[in-house]
Structures are given as C-alpha cells and as structure tokens.
A and B are shown apart, each in its own frame.
Chain A
Amino acid sequence: MSTLASNIQAPAVPLKKTRSGRYQLSQKDVSSWLVLAVGVTFLFSLIFFLGFAANYKWDQFSPAVAAKIATEFFRFDKIAFADQLSILALLINTVILGFITTVLGALIGLPFGLMAARNLSWPWLSNLIKALASFVRAVPTIIWVLLFISGYGLTSTTAIVGMVFHSWAFFVKSYGESFEEVDPGTIEALRSTGCTSFQVISSAVIPSAATRIISWIAMRSETNFAVAVVIGPAVGVAGTIGSVINGYSRVGDYSGLGFSLFCVFLTALVFELILTRLKQRSAR
C-alpha cells in the first residue's frame, strides 16, 4: 500500500457550513467585512447626497419635458439638407482628428515603448521612460489640450498636439507591456543565431507582439474619437462635431442635437465593428 492511497482513505475533516447553506471554501477574515461596510456606507451616503443634501433640481425632470425631447429628438426631417451635410463634414473632420492623433501617437510611441520594455532596455532607461509616461497619462487628455492652448493659442493643431501627447504616453505603457510579454525563449533563440539587437526586435519581438499592438491601437482610436467629439464643447476647438452639438444644445434645438448625436453613435458603432473584425483577423 502506498502512502498516498492510505491517506485518501483516512476520514475527512468535517466541513463547515455557512449560514446560507453552502460549504465554506475559504477563510473569512476581517477585511471582507470591512469592504462590505465601506461599500454600504458609500451607497447610503450617495443616496443621501443626491436626494437631499445637494441642491439638484429634480423637479425639472418632468415627464412632459422628457416627452417633448423624445419627440423632437428623432425629427431628422426638421433639419435642412445643407445643415445635415455640414454636420456630416464636421463628423468626418472629427474622425480624422481621432485617426491622426492615434497614428501619430502610435508611431512616436514605438521607439519609446521599446525603451520602456524591461527585457529590451536598461533598467534605468526603462524606469525613466515609464515614470515620464505615467505622469503624462495621469493627467487627462483634455487638460493637456487646455495646457497647450494656453501656451500656443486655440487652433486645431494645438488640439492635435495635446491629444498626441496623451496617446503617446498610452502607447509607451501598452507597447512596453506587450513587448515584456514576448517569450524570452524566442528572443534567446534569435540572439543565438548571431544577429543584431535590432534584428531581434524587428524579426521576433514586434511580430510576436503584433496582435496585442493592433488591439491597443484599436482601443486607442476609439478613445481618441470620443475625445475628439468632446474636445469641441470642452475646450472650444471649432470644426468638430462636438462644437455643433454644443451649439444646438444652447439654443435648445433638439432635432439638430438628435441628428448629430445619431451620427456620433453610428460612427462609434461602425468603428467598434471594424476594429473587432481587425482584432479577430490579426489574432488568427
């Protein structure tokens, strides 16, 4: 008789049952109660704050107003054809803004991503670049755009620079992590053939990380489209669909608002579909 077999025949330690009738599978400790207590407190204080303490005018949200908005919202026929065309032109502008900033950020981010990857770079350089990138990333894109505008004035170029700046930092982090996940064995195999470090990067590291890189770019182009939409009303960059939306909402033109938002929604949906397709293709 082996020792394993005799062990398995020994009587099991009696199991504990919880009050809800399940068998206990893990040790309950104080921290899980603490998390629950904090969560409940937070929930109740949120209800109190929104319902009583803060000075929100909840009575303005009357069903009549909601009904008016809802009926006006989908009256696309109330907008002149010329206006529809100009809204579409602005939509294209916005898409291009998101696209350009993503591509530029992805390109400029590549060498920095390589320098940030621990397995390809020196530790001091990797730490330096990662620290710099996380500082840039910690500040939201809009704030960077505002910062650049205060320095260089309100033009679409400044908007691009600000958005690229934040995208760059995003790509440094995501590229760096993608490269770090490349199998060290593959890198070793290429190094052992006697090729240069750049060849290891171009022939092994980047191809191995390509799937991840593509999905990071896909993700960022969605984000940058969203930022490009918001950047109009938030910062005041003219020539994007956001500024048009802002204009309609100020004059209370719900039909214009509805049409513009519908355009944004449709574009985001198309984006999502294309990018999902792209990711699936690259993963194969």
Chain B
Amino acid sequence: MTEILSLKHVSKVYDNRVQALHDVSFDVRQGELISIIGPSGAGKSTLLRCINRMIEASEGQILFLDQDVTAADKKQLKEVRKNIGMIFQNYNLVYRLSVLENVMHGRLGSYSTLQSTLGLYRREDVEEAQRLLQMLGLQDRLYEKCSKLSGGQKQRVGIARALLQHPKMILCDEPIASLDPQSSKVIMEYLRDIATSMNIPCLVNLHQVDVALHYSDRIIGMHQGEVVFFGRPQDLDDAVIEKIYGKGLEDLLRHGGQA
C-alpha cells in the first residue's frame, strides 16, 4: 500500500503560548480509515486543519503525495486543497442554496470566478454531482434548499461535495457529533465504503470510542497535543484509554463506549 500522507514531527503553538500539537508523526496509506480520538482540546481539529493548511503548523513536515505541504506556495497549496476533501461537524453548507448547488461547490477550484458566479458549470460535472447524490440516496431532493434537510441528509450533501473534488484523501472533523445514532451509522458506513471501495483514505476525528473501534483500520489517540497511541483497534486496551482520557473512563471499552 502506498503512503498518501505522512506527518513528521509536526507542532503547533498558538500565540507563542498554547501548545496545541507537540511532535506529531504518523502516516496514512491508500484506502485506510484512520480515527483520531481524544478529549476535547486534545488538538484533533487543529491537527486536521494543519494538513490542508487551514491552520499553519509551527514546525515539522507534512508530506501529501510526496509534496511538502508546509513549503507549498499559493498555487501549489490550491492544488493540495483541491485534492483533499473536508467534512465538518456542522456540515458548513450554504443553507439558502439547493442541494445540487452546494455539491457543485466541491468543483469550484476548476472554474473561474465569473463562471462559478454565473453558475456556468460543465454538463459532465453536474451529471457527476447528480450521480453522487443518487449514490448517497438524495436523488429526490436535488433542487431543495439545504435548510430543509435533516442532519444526516445535510452530512450526506457534505460528503457529496467532498467527493466531487475527486479527492485523494478526505478529512472529517467530527462528522457524526451532531447526529443521532441511526444517521451516525449511515454516515460512518459511507465513509468506510469510500475508504475501502473508492480507495480514498479518510482521517476522521471522533468522540465515540466504540465507533472508532468498529470502523477504523488504525486509531490515533491524542492527549494534550501529543499522540499517545497509534495502532490497530485491537491493540487499544484499558491502559491506553487511561492515557488518552485520564482516570475513571477505563470502562469505555467494556460498556459500548460513549466518551
């Protein structure tokens, strides 16, 4: 399996004071679903955003498809971002626009400002968006405003938007934190499927340890900006949970595990 992403000794310090990430190193291979778990404030979101430089890392190297993201200029960074899809906890759609319009935003990078403002999208792109939405079970709601959708449906629009980018990797920032168990399951199964059958690796921030155990190929455990565990789900034991979440939550593994 080829490596898609590799982080080497990445650190992030906010305002010269708060150490959000400390010496983080790991790699992501083709077709993998990797979960990042850890308490709030452990640096999970910061870590994801350092990868496509929505946040600038203070130190270290981030290699995406053998290219150093941290050293990329404006044009290269645009290419990197086009190749990385992103999914958010709050979906972050434009709710006044229709489902199809929102999905087309995934393709903005390949259009000029004038074209995208006037909505002059190419036929094949619109058709692809339509196919993606059909795949995600939203074929009946193409022209509806996003504000009318349920949470799970909104997240599926988010996934379609990310997939229309033709990403080489997808970053998911707590994709199921605002969803009910049923929708969460649907979304996680889509992500699992994207990783396995479309061969697009997914890096997923999660709060639910049981979900992470069930769907991931590998798990990253974070505590106060440091990676304290990186390995397969079966190697995650009570001692590791204590290292990630602190004392008192060791029962997580035995009791279905809502963190």
Contact = CB atoms under 8 A, between A and B. Distances in A.
B84 A203 contact: no
Contacts of A190: 105, 108
B165 interface: yes
A202 B161 CA distance: 17
Interface stretch (A9-17, A193-201, A242-250, A255-263): A193-201
Nearest to A189: B92
Contacts of A203: 94, 105, 108, 116-117
Contacts of A194: 77-83, 108-109, 165
Contacts of B105: 189-190, 193, 195, 203-204
Contacts of B117: 199, 202-203
B190 interface: no
A32 interface: no
A78 interface: no
Interface string A178-214: 0000010110111111111011001110011011000
Interface in B82-128: 82-86, 88, 90, 92-97, 105-106, 108-109, 111, 113, 116-117
Given A188-B54, A189-B88, A208 B106 contact: no
B52 interface: yes
Q: Using C-beta atoms within 8 Å of the partner chain, give the interface range for chain A.
A: 20 to 34
B114 to A, nearest CB: 9
B96 A192 contact: no
A198 B116 CA distance: 10
A199 B116 contact: yes
Given A202-B113, A202-B117, A203-B116, A192 B84 contact: yes
Given A194-B81, A210-B96, A199 B108 contact: yes
Given A194-B78, A202-B116, A203-B117, A189 B93 contact: yes
Given A185-B90, A188-B54, A193 B109 contact: yes
Given A188-B92, A208-B94, A208-B96, A193 B106 contact: yes
Interface in B111-155: 111, 113, 116-117
A195 B94 contact: no
B54 A199 contact: no
Interface string B167-188: 0000000000000000000000
Nearest to A209: B96
Interface in A93-142: none
Contact of A195 (B54, B85, B108): B108
A204 B86 CA distance: 16
A209 to B, nearest CB: 9
B113 A198 contact: yes
Nearest to B89: A185
Given A208-B95, A211-B96, A193 B88 contact: no
Interface in B40-99: 52, 54, 77-86, 88, 90, 92-97
A250 B93 CA distance: 59
A203 B114 CA distance: 11
Nearest to B116: A199
Contacts of A202: 113, 116-117
Contacts of A183: 90, 92
Contacts of B80: 194
A192 B94 contact: no
Nearest to B90: A185
A204 B83 CA distance: 20
B171 to A, nearest CB: 8
A193 B82 contact: yes
Interface centre among A186, A189, A195, A199 (most CB of B within 10 A): A189
A195 B109 contact: yes
B108 to A, nearest CB: 4
B35 to A, nearest CB: 20
B95 A192 contact: no
A204 B93 CA distance: 8
B92 A193 contact: no
Interface string A212-233: 0000000000000000000000
Contact of A207 (B84, B97, B111): B97
Contacts of A193: 81-82, 85-86, 105-106, 108-109, 161, 165
Given A193-B108, A196-B113, 6 more contacts: A183-B90, A183-B92, A192-B86, A194-B79, A194-B165, A202-B117
20 contacts: A185-B92, A186-B92, A188-B88, A189-B93, A191-B54, A193-B81, A193-B108, A193-B109, A194-B77, A194-B79, A195-B105, A195-B108, A195-B109, A195-B116, A198-B113, A199-B113, A202-B117, A203-B105, A208-B94, A210-B96
Interface of A: 183, 185-186, 188-196, 198-199, 202-204, 207-208, 210-211
Interface of B: 52, 54, 77-86, 88, 90, 92-97, 105-106, 108-109, 111, 113, 116-117, 158, 161, 165
